[in-house]
Amino acid sequence: MRGVHERVHKHRKKLRKEGMRPIQIWVPDTSLSGFAEECKRQSQQVEHDPQEKELLEFLDEASDHEGWE
């Protein structure tokens, strides 16, 4: 197991030398029961919201879709 720790340490040290830094993020657990239902509930709440429509249109226009097909 020591070999794995040493490789990870070496890899992280290399990334830091290249100007990278580690971060930790927390994301919703999509495997939880009720996750899909909560997504649907939240989507329905903003379905007719003009600001949401404007934001989605902006994101669609700003997105690079090249190669998605």
Q: Is residue 51 in some structural domain?
A: yes
Which pLDDT does position 48 carry in this prediction? 92
Ranges in the chain, pLDDT < 70: 1
Domain count for the chain, please give it: 1
Which pLDDT does position 39 carry in this prediction? 96
Which pLDDT does position 22 carry in this prediction? 95
User: What stretches of the chain show up as alpha helix (H) in DSSP?
Assistant: 2-17, 35-46, 50-62
Q: Is residue 68 in some structural domain?
A: no
Domain hosting residue 39, numbered range = 2-62
Which pLDDT does position 2 carry in this prediction? 77
Q: Is residue 42 in some structural domain?
A: yes
One-letter amino acid at 58 equals: F
